[in-house]
Amino acid sequence: MIEEHPIRSKSSVYFERYAKAEQQRTLLVGVVYVLGAVCVAFAMGLISVAVRPKPIHYVSAVPVSGISYPGQVPVSSVVSFTGAWIMDWMNYTPDTAQGVYQRALLLVMPSFMAKLRAGLDEELQKISRDRLASVFTLKAEPRCMENEGGFAVIFEGDRRIYMGKEEMSREAVRFTVNVRRTTPTTLNPYGLAVEDVRKEKVRHDQV
């Protein structure tokens, strides 16, 4: 018995192949869209991780037991940060004054920076021209008080101004440095910034 095979025309074969090609193309397009969406989501996740502020853990110089919570600033860290800033700001020579001021400006709030910059060039010219130097020494332990949004740290001591090697003035002073919590940056990774500094003369019976 002779088996009969259906005879397909060239046009029907062409249409079958075209339909299969269209199915494959549709499938590939869907795969491309899915992969694209995955890549976009992955890229957005990486960007989110990169720009998210890194949590800060403050480690005390004195070992203590307990849990470290990000963003929780110990008073000792505030005093250390503020003390380093005020001692750097108030101790300079004609050769170091410019570097001292540039470092100090990195750790202040924008509003305070504008205030300091207003007379900075004139002050630097005066220091260089008259060969002025400033020496500030502490006479008491710093006092730190927490307030809304930050801290106020008080430093008391003696400040001396020299012209060359000659002492021009000496006074007992009190600096109240207001510090605010800020978002850490590359230039200021401490999460703290100086908002304002108030200077007062202190009578000898108050020191």
Position with higher pLDDT, 66 vs 118: 118
Over residues 111-122, the pLDDT tens digits come to 999 888 888 889
Q: Which of 89, 84, 74 is nearest to 181 (CA)?
A: 74
> Does residue 138 belong to any structural domain of this protein?
yes
Q: Determine the Cα–Cα distance for residues 119 and 149; give it in Å rounded to an integer.
A: 28
How many independent structural domains does the chain possess? Answer: 1
Q: Is 6 within a domain?
A: no
Residue 172, beta-bridge partner list: 158
Four-CA torsion 116, 182, 74, 207, nearest 10 degrees:
20
Long-range contacts of 44-47 (CB under 8 A, 24+ apart): none
What is the average pLDDT across 129-144?
94
List, for residues 80-104, the tens digit of each pLDDT value.
999 999 999 999 999 999 999 999 9
CB 94 within 8 A of CB 128: yes
Asked if residue 47 has pLDDT above 70, the reply is: no
- Of residues 14 and 108, the one with the higher pLDDT is 108
Q: With 90 as the cut, is the pLDDT of residue 141 above it?
A: yes
Q: Is 112 among the domain residues? A: yes
Per the model's pLDDT, the better-predicted residue between 118 and 133 turns out to be 133
CATH number of 81's domain: 3.10.450.230
- Distance, in Å, from the CA atom of 188 to the CA atom of 181, rounded to the nearest integer, reads 11
Q: Determine, yes or no, domain membership for 190.
A: yes
- Position 204 pLDDT exceeds 60: no
Window from 56-60, 88-92, 139-143, 189-193 with minimum mean pLDDT: 56-60
Q: What is the pLDDT of residue 205?
A: 53
Q: What is the pLDDT of residue 207?
A: 45
pLDDT, greater one: 38 or 181 = 181
Sequence-distant (6+) residues with CB within 8 A of 12 are none
Task: Name residue 177's amino acid.
Answer: V
pLDDT at 200: 93
Question: What is the per-residue DSSP string for 100-121?
Answer: HHHHHHTTB-HHHHHHHHHTHH
User: With bands split at pLDDT 50, 70 and 90, how would you rate the model's confidence at 70?
Assistant: low
- Tell me how far apart the alpha carbons of residues 154 and 83 are, in angstroms, rounded to a whole number: 9
Q: pLDDT per residue over 10-44, tens digit each?
A: 556 555 666 676 777 777 777 777 777 777 777 67
In a domain, 60, yes or no: no
170 near 159, Cβ under 8 Å?
A: yes
Residue 193 lies in a domain: yes
The SS3 of residue 15 is helix
Q: Report pTM.
A: 0.66
Name the burial class of residue 40, with classes exposed (0-12), middle (13-18) and buried (19+) by CB atoms within 10 angstroms of its CB. exposed
And the tokens for 124?
């630097």
Query: Is residue 130 one of the residues assigned to a domain?
Result: yes
Domain that holds residue 81: 75-201
Are 180 and 150 spatial neighbours (Cβ–Cβ below 8 Å)? yes
3-state secondary structure at position 36 = helix
Instruction: Please check the confidence at residue 68 and state whether its pLDDT lies above 60.
Output: no
Q: Give yes or no for residue 61 having a pLDDT over 90.
A: no
